[in-house]
Amino acid sequence: MFQYLIRRVLIAIPTLVVISFIIFAVLDLAPGDPTGNLPLTIPPEVRELVRKSLGVDDPFVIKYLKWARQFFIYEPISIIEDATQIKLTGEAGFPRILSWQTRSPVSDLLWQRLPQTLWVVGLSYVFGILIAIPVGVVSAYRQYSIFDQIGTFISMLGFSVPTFFTGLLAILLFSVQLKWLPSIYDTTLVVKDWPSFVLQVKQMIMPVTVLAFFNAAQLSRFMRSSMLDNLSQDYVRTARSKGLVERIVVLGHVLRNSLIPVVTIIALGIPSIFTGAIITEQIFRVNGIGDLLIRGIYNSDIPLVQTITFIFAILIVLFNIVADAAYGFLDPRIRYN
């Protein structure tokens, strides 16, 4: 297992290098100018200084290397001021990759937004998994029962209806009509006592529920399908013929083997936790990474979009490796040679 993981990591490194180069090259060719949103009254020489300070006119290779460096080395900011401009640099004197829109280091913007995304999207994904697996198991074991039919209907409804519709419906019902929950997520709220904790929970209920409903609807269908495939296998009949308790047959044998394809779906969905739920964050005004990405695209903030896109690629490659490693624990027949 350890040797297999080492091989996968060694293969992933050049893969990510190629992906990073492609992402940077494609977005670097996209139209965009960091001075495009500046007032027209600003003189051309000042605009040129801004472009120079952001490294827009540097050679392609130099820009790529400076951009890639931020993923390996983090340095606190120091401000260097000279007669012409102010530069944000690291302790070693290397220029930091700055957002064209905010003029702040891209890495710092991501660290500021990450907690909000993890709280909302992360909790919704965990709740979605905790709901989907039991529902899928029971629906498959009691196929065509009332529970299965209701579960199938709700799952198809949750998977078919987009989150922007369910989000707006929740706001209209629980915020506008009933006035139970706040419609806007207050990212400036600091939990320091019980009332602030209650307010934090109340503002998280709707976005977490909307996303958890969507995730559970998708995963429960995969879980049910995988369980049905394994319930008809010969090893299940053999286990029952040996006199094993039905609970052990279902949970110890069928569920374990049924989780193998579902683990892939779960693992590939984990990167979305870190990159944010773009639509839901926009609806509930959650200042997460998804909202940051939308603002970056809207404002043609190329360095910001490049960084978030590549982070998403890193997470996909990483959790593919995690999913492959989990197969060996779920199915003893799998051997990594």
pLDDT per residue as tens digits for the range 3-20: 777 888 888 889 999 999
209 pLDDT exceeds 70?
A: yes
> How high is the pLDDT of residue 83?
36
191 lies in the same domain as 66: no
Top-ranked range on mean pLDDT: pick from 30-39, 109-118, 132-141: 132-141
pLDDT tens digits, 71-110: 776 555 444 444 344 444 444 444 567 787 777 788 888 8
67 lies in the same domain as 202: no
| 335 exposure class (CB count in 10 Å sphere: 0-12, 13-18, 19+) | exposed
Assigned domain for 180 exists: yes
To the question of pTM greater than 0.85 for the whole model, the response is no
176 vs 148: CA distance, rounded Å: 34
246 vs 291: CA distance, rounded Å: 48
Q: How many domains does the chain have?
A: 2
43 lies in the same domain as 115: no
Structure tokens at 192: 């320091």
Report the candidate in 170, 163, 167, 155 with the shortest Cα–Cα distance to residue 272: 163
171 lies in the same domain as 38: no
17 lies in the same domain as 157: no
30 lies in the same domain as 117: no
Assigned domain for 186 exists: yes
312 lies in the same domain as 189: yes
pLDDT tens digits, 248-291: 888 888 888 888 888 888 888 887 776 657 778 888 888 888 88
Assigned domain for 285 exists: yes
> How high is the pLDDT of residue 135?
92
47 lies in the same domain as 112: no
> How high is the pLDDT of residue 127?
92
307 pLDDT exceeds 60?
A: yes
Name the residue range of residue 285's domain: 106-330
310 vs 141: CA distance, rounded Å: 41
> How high is the pLDDT of residue 149?
92
Assigned domain for 196 exists: yes
- The share of the chain scoring above pLDDT 90, in percent, equals 8
CATH code, domain with 257: 1.10.3720.10
∠ CA(114), CA(201), CA(296), 5° rounding? 30
> How high is the pLDDT of residue 134?
92
Assigned domain for 95 exists: no
308 lies in the same domain as 253: yes
> How high is the pLDDT of residue 85?
43
78 lies in the same domain as 114: no
Assigned domain for 100 exists: no
